[in-house]
Amino acid sequence: MSLIYLSAAELSAKLGSGEVSSVEATQAHLDRITAVDGDVHAFLHINAEALKTAADVDARRAAGEQLGELAGVPIAIKDVLCTIGMPSTAGSRILEGWIPPYDATVVSRLRAANLIPLGKTNMDEFAMGSSTEHSAYGPTHNPWDLERIPGGSGGGSAAAVAAFEAPIALGSDTGGSIRQPAAVTGSVGVKPTYGSVSRYGAIALASSLDQVGPVSRTVLDSALVHDIIGGHDPRDSTSLKDTWPSFAAAARAGATAESLKGLRVGVVKQLDAPGFQDGVKLRFHESLAMMEEAGAEIVEVSAPNFEYAVAAYYLILPAEASSNLARFDSVRFGLRVNPAGGGTVEDVMAATRGAGFGAEVKRRIILGTYALSAGYYDEYYGSAQKVRTLIQRDFDAAFAQVDVLVSPSAPTTAFKLGEKIDDPLAMYLNDVTTIPANLAGIPGMGLPIGLAPEDGLPVGLQIMAPARADDRLYKLGATLERMLEEKWGHTLLSQAPNLTPTEMFAASEGAV
Amino acid sequence: MSESHPEPADGITADVVRHLAGLSRIALSDDEIGKLTGELGAILENVAKVNEVATPDVPATSHPIPLTNVYRPDVPGETLTLEQALAGAPEHDGSRFKVSAILGEEQ
């Protein structure tokens, strides 16, 4: 049994018992990356220190040191997160080769828990996109079908776990960048409650929406990662001071729960829409039937203002992004382009940003600048903020009736690379299901619920809970995961086509 | 910086986009301006629907979870060293970031 097919929890058990070393586990994943990442392109950078770090963890374990549960387990890190010793580009040309002088808090917590950073994963430039096609370094390919998108912006992290290049990864979710890639790759991902995971060292897109979270193949693995990265951080002024329960304990309780008796599950009428793909609707309704059979009460709820969520989002996000991305000024870090014939610092700035930003980033900065301009602030940005209030009220009313809300994670399965790249508005609609949670700050999970019969591609379920009730996601998610896998007789990802090792075939033969 | 406004959404012209690009400090080619003019118009037409429900009685929300301002104790913490701070700079002189002229000839 190859080590790459183990979940992080299974791998950690073998590491703990001494059956497997962290060096072996890390090497297995590095070999897998070498074998398949030429085709998948989940990674932008591989950590040259990974094996050294793994050897260090092995030595400390051998010396009898008590290590955390995931110590020695490899993890991939989305390139939006600052990492000492590894370039952090956020998928942008403007940060090509930039090595930050500090770690994001979530990265320091991974290191403190002795996980092994494998490398940095591909993403849409500055997390603007739903397909990774806006990465300056070329798109990531979906392991289920290399001609298709892996979702975005965190398509690299989702593809890395779905292609067994890493058991777990970190992502960030501003409007669905963890949950939508999970849906189209058949993996699991969680956007935690806003403020529950530190944003320090996460290159900012829209500060009132961004949240870092776990990416994995199982619900329990996401919970284990969430337990490590979550909690108050004095370096993030929006960090919540709450004490959080163990999400791994919630996932374990969910995995062994006999029924869903007493659980009220709300179906958002507006997110069970006629325009969604048939196979998505089919699997979604099957999962509702499964929950009902297990004792849950299914309640239809209405969220009339969700209709305005995408519009509000595409005003608030560009507005915040236009301000956040002002830091790329060609002075302190990143690219500098000197215009022909020289010029003032402002000319250099404009030439640098013109050359260093891709089309989608330019589009959103210009849109945000417009939305914030003096004559139009009330009409656009101000109105979008009011819609935000209305969406929160919709959620409040819904959660007064039910414990969790569910919807399809994405309206369709993975579409073809190139299909929507020239139509920004069509691309923006991919996130219609995920955006409301970001606007309201509530947590959401995406998990696989089957394959669409018409194309054989993964379909995801989104579970949403009230702010601070992230544990409900893990509990229900783990119960559903168990019931589905019992029904199927296997995991969903075990049905993904085998990726053919490309250039490394010879090398692995030589290694025997 | 002048306070002149771009024209309304239904009148997104190339000049408006050029003005916004100037405010955003992004040099754009004429091709890019042409493309963005159409796209921006289409996007704004779509997002303007927020005004259908954003009535005067609805308060605005800027932040999803209610928070108050945060202070930290006024004690010096760890800071970046000079080398660390300059490590990513496109140009520096060993202790400062180097930039080209701040003022143009006409200023």
Is A352 among the domain residues?
A: no
Backbone angles phi, psi at A267, to 5 degrees: -105, 120
The amino acid occupying position A413 is: T
CATH number of the domain bearing residue A52: 3.90.1300.10
Structure confidence at residue A428 (pLDDT): 87
DSSP state of B74: S
Q: Are A356 and B11 in contact (CB under 8 A)?
A: no
Q: Listing from the earlier edge strand, what are the strands of the sheet with A74-78? A: A43-46, A116-121, A74-78, A168-172, A212-216, A188-191, A444-451, A458-464, A404-408, A264-268, A297-301
Contact B6 A370 (CB under 8 A): yes
Is A228 among the domain residues?
A: yes
Q: For A425, which residue in chain B has the nearest alpha carbon?
A: B43
Confidence of residue B106 (pLDDT cuts 50, 70, 90): low
Q: For B78, which residue in chain A has the nearest alpha carbon?
A: A102
Rounded distance between C-alpha atoms, residue A210 and residue A191, angstroms: 9
Is B14 among the domain residues?
A: yes
Domain that holds residue A288: 3-307+388-511
The position carrying tokens 């579970």 is A463
Nearest to A208 among B63, B69, B97 (CB): B63
Contact A388 B49 (CB under 8 A): no
Structure tokens at A252: 């374990």
Structure confidence at residue B72 (pLDDT): 84
The residues, any chain, with a CB within 8 Å of residue A101's CB and separated by 6 or more, are A84, B80, B84, B85, B87, B88
The amino acid occupying position B104 is: G
DSSP letters spanning A334-395:
S---PPTT---HHHHHHHHHHHHS-HHHHHHHHHHHHHHSTTTTIIIIIHHHHHHHHHHHHH
Among the residue ranges A169-173, A407-411, B5-9, B11-15, the one predicted with the least confidence is: B5-9
CATH number of the domain bearing residue B20: 1.10.20
Helix then strand count (H, E) for chain B reads 3, 0
Give the mutation candidate from A316, A388, A420 for the B interface (greatest B CB count, under 10 A): A388
Residues of A identified as active-site? 78, 153, 177
Rounded distance between C-alpha atoms, residue A489 and residue B45, angstroms: 49
Rounded distance between C-alpha atoms, residue A200 and residue A239, angstroms: 9
Q: Is the pLDDT of residue B107 over 70?
A: no
Is A18 among the domain residues?
A: yes
Structure confidence at residue A145 (pLDDT): 97
Contact B42 A425 (CB under 8 A): yes
Q: Are A81 and A170 in contact (CB under 8 A)?
A: yes
**Residue A365 contacts B, CB cutoff 8 Å:** yes
Is B25 among the domain residues?
A: yes
Rounded distance between C-alpha atoms, residue A300 and residue A501, angstroms: 47
Greater confidence (B34 vs B2) lies with B34
DSSP state of A230: B
- Within 8 A of B65 by CB-CB distance, chain A residues are 193-195, 238, 240, 441, 467
Is A490 among the domain residues?
A: yes
Q: For B44, which residue in chain A has the nearest alpha carbon?
A: A367
Overall number of domains in chain B: 1
Overall number of domains in chain A: 1
pLDDT truncated to tens, each residue of chain A (512 aa)? 599 999 999 999 999 999 999 999 999 999 999 999 999 999 999 999 999 999 999 999 999 999 999 999 999 999 999 999 999 999 999 999 999 999 999 999 999 999 999 999 999 999 999 999 999 999 999 999 999 999 999 999 999 999 999 999 999 999 999 999 999 999 999 999 999 999 999 999 999 999 999 999 999 999 999 999 999 999 999 999 999 999 999 999 999 999 999 999 999 999 998 889 999 999 999 999 999 999 999 999 999 999 999 999 999 999 999 999 999 999 999 999 999 888 999 999 999 999 999 999 999 999 999 999 988 899 999 999 999 999 999 999 999 999 999 999 999 999 999 999 988 888 888 899 999 999 999 999 999 999 999 999 999 999 999 999 999 999 999 999 999 999 999 999 999 999 988 654 433 333 33
Contact B48 A380 (CB under 8 A): yes
Domain that holds residue B19: 9-52
Is A343 among the domain residues?
A: no
Rounded distance between C-alpha atoms, residue A101 and residue A82, angstroms: 8
Q: Please name the residue ranges forming H helices in B1-107.
A: 14-23, 30-47, 82-86
Structure confidence at residue B10 (pLDDT): 58
How many degrees, rounded to 5, is the angle at CA A7 between CA A406 and CA A221? 45
- Within 8 A of A314 by CB-CB distance, chain B residues are 43, 46-47
In 3-state terms, what secondary structure has residue A226? Answer: helix
Q: Are A238 and A105 in contact (CB under 8 A)?
A: no
Q: Give, rounded to a whole angstrom, the gap between the first and last alpha carbons of chain A.
A: 17
Is A272 among the domain residues?
A: yes
Q: Are A191 and A173 in contact (CB under 8 A)?
A: yes
ipTM summary value: 0.91
B77, with CB counted inside 10 A (0-12, 13-18, 19+), is exposed
The residues, any chain, with a CB within 8 Å of residue A52's CB and separated by 6 or more, are none
The position carrying tokens 């961004």 is A210
- Within 8 A of B8 by CB-CB distance, chain A residues are 376
Give yes or no for a cis peptide into A153 (omega within 30° of 0): yes
Which helix (H) or strand (E) element contains residue A407? Answer: strand A404-408
- CB crowding A75-110: b at 16 or more within 10 Å, else e: bbbbbbbbbbebebbbbbbbbeebbbebbbbbbbbb
Is A102 among the domain residues?
A: yes
Q: Are A400 and A136 in contact (CB under 8 A)?
A: no
CA A181 to chain centre: 7
The position carrying tokens 């996601």 is A473
Structure tokens at B4: 């002149």
Q: Facing residues of A490 across strands? A: none
Q: What is the CB neighbour count within 10 angstroms for residue A24?
A: 15
Is B28 among the domain residues?
A: yes
Structure confidence at residue B27 (pLDDT): 97
The amino acid occupying position A371 is: A
Long-range contacts of A273-278 (CB under 8 A, 24+ apart): A273/A411, A275/A411, A276/A408, A276/A411, A276/A412, A277/A411, A277/A412, A277/A413, A277/A452, A277/A454, A278/A452, A278/A454
Residue count of chain B: 107
Structure tokens at A294: 């297990």
Instruction: Provide the Cα torsion A467, A275, A448, A450; round to 10°.
Output: 150
Among the residue ranges A146-160, A270-284, B5-19, B34-48, the one predicted with the least confidence is: B5-19
- Within 8 A of A438 by CB-CB distance, chain B residues are 64
Rounded distance between C-alpha atoms, residue B81 and residue A199, angstroms: 23
Interface size A-B, in CB pairs within 8 Å, comes to: 197
Is A486 among the domain residues?
A: yes
Rounded distance between C-alpha atoms, residue A202 and residue A194, angstroms: 14
Nearest to A308 among B49, B91, B101 (CB): B49
Region of A83 on the Ramachandran plot (φ > 0 left; ψ -120 to 50 alpha; else beta): beta
Q: Are A90 and A203 in contact (CB under 8 A)?
A: yes
The residues, any chain, with a CB within 8 Å of residue A394's CB and separated by 6 or more, are A302, A303, A304, A305, A306, A436
Q: Are A423 and A133 in contact (CB under 8 A)?
A: no
Structure confidence at residue A426 (pLDDT): 84
CA distances from A46 to A86, A134, A339 (A): 8, 21, 34
